[in-house]
Amino acid sequence: EAQVTQNPRYLITVTGKKLTVTCSQNMNHEYMSWYRQDPGLGLRQIYYSMNVEVTDKGDVPEGYKVSRKEKRNFPLILESPSPNQTSLYFCASKKDSKGTSAYYNEQFFGPGTRLTVL
């Protein structure tokens, strides 16, 4: 089954304790991205990656790190989490193609990771 998986799904941690949220896709997609979702703010992009070893900042990158050593994996790292990083996090992927179809830019999302930082 084509999918994006994230782990863990739920995480409660304390301020300053480093954590990693994993993301993996089995669709051979070039592009991967991390978003955070907060009530009333929609989805905000944290980091994205156009391909292996290529990453770039999104709209809200402060306090986060990413790496893309393999095409299928795109972990999100919080070196020193703070309470304002309490949020719902989504990983997404898409095939990097500029087609004529209205669906060329479809992004496939993982199930989400609910993070609470105390």
The residue ranges that bind another protein (CB under 8 A) are 4, 31, 33, 40-45, 48, 50, 59, 90, 92, 94, 96-98, 102-112
State the nearest-atom distance from the C-beta of 7 to another protein, in Å: 14
> In this complex, which beta carbon is closest to another protein, that of residue 14 or of residue 41?
41
How many helices (DSSP H) and strands (DSSP E) are in the chain? 0, 11
> In this complex, which beta carbon is closest to another protein, that of residue 38 or of residue 79?
38
State the nearest-atom distance from the C-beta of 9 to another protein, in Å: 9
Cis peptide before 83 (omega within 30 of 0): no
> In this complex, which beta carbon is closest to another protein, that of residue 62 or of residue 102?
102
Contact between residue 58 and residue 48 where contact means Cβ atoms under 8 Å apart:
yes
State the nearest-atom distance from the C-beta of 22 to another protein, in Å: 15
CA dihedral 69, 73, 74, 80 (to 10 degrees): -90
CA gap 74, 47 in Å, rounded: 10
> In this complex, which beta carbon is closest to another protein, that of residue 64 or of residue 90?
90
